[in-house]
Structure 1
């Protein structure tokens, strides 16, 4: 029997500028993208065309109440790196990625540096983004 290979990595054109990730759990992926988070296998990636962020619930280092936490750390971030910026437990299991260009130019949403030196940024709560976005189940 041949060993199973990991799913191939998708490399969509997410747009220009910095690439941001929003790390979340299965419930978050479902709410933001409409994809049932637990339906993805570890390592699986899916492209979506719309992200619907509600009000943020984690006020740790949030720019303003209800803002959505994003980071320049990618899907290769370690558990420790994510812990260091306040992303814990099952919220490390899925990453939703988008480019700065898609947020600002295509949707008028500015990514605000909260603590840029630690890669901590925010976007406003109740944000709707349209474009090309990558969802990855990490763990």
Structure 2
């Protein structure tokens, strides 16, 4: 059998219509979905970070509250100082600030009672002569 000659090359012309609007949007759908998922993930991370920070704030506030009611005056002063710093934080809610405010009241009232119970110390009025004697 004799070989058959190969067919002559055929020219094919493809004509396509311009894409429809929905086809353009469909091409960007994966990108839009990725952006939305990224925004949701960022919001979840922000919320978790804020919740963790608030939990740590409350843990510190508990320490400050415990210390403010301690019998040791130095520890009491430190607890009140910690509560003062924590009260200035943006993490504190109104309710928590009210708790801190109430915690300040009792130690401060006790301290005022102690100061009021002490006898008044008279002023030590020096005369001009006594002051001159000290200077010499």
Q: TM-score, normalised by structure 1?
A: 0.21
Q: TM-score, normalised by structure 2?
A: 0.21
Higher percent of residues as helix: 2
Greater RCO (CA < 8 Å, at least 6 residues apart) = 1
Which structure has the bigger radius of gyration? 2
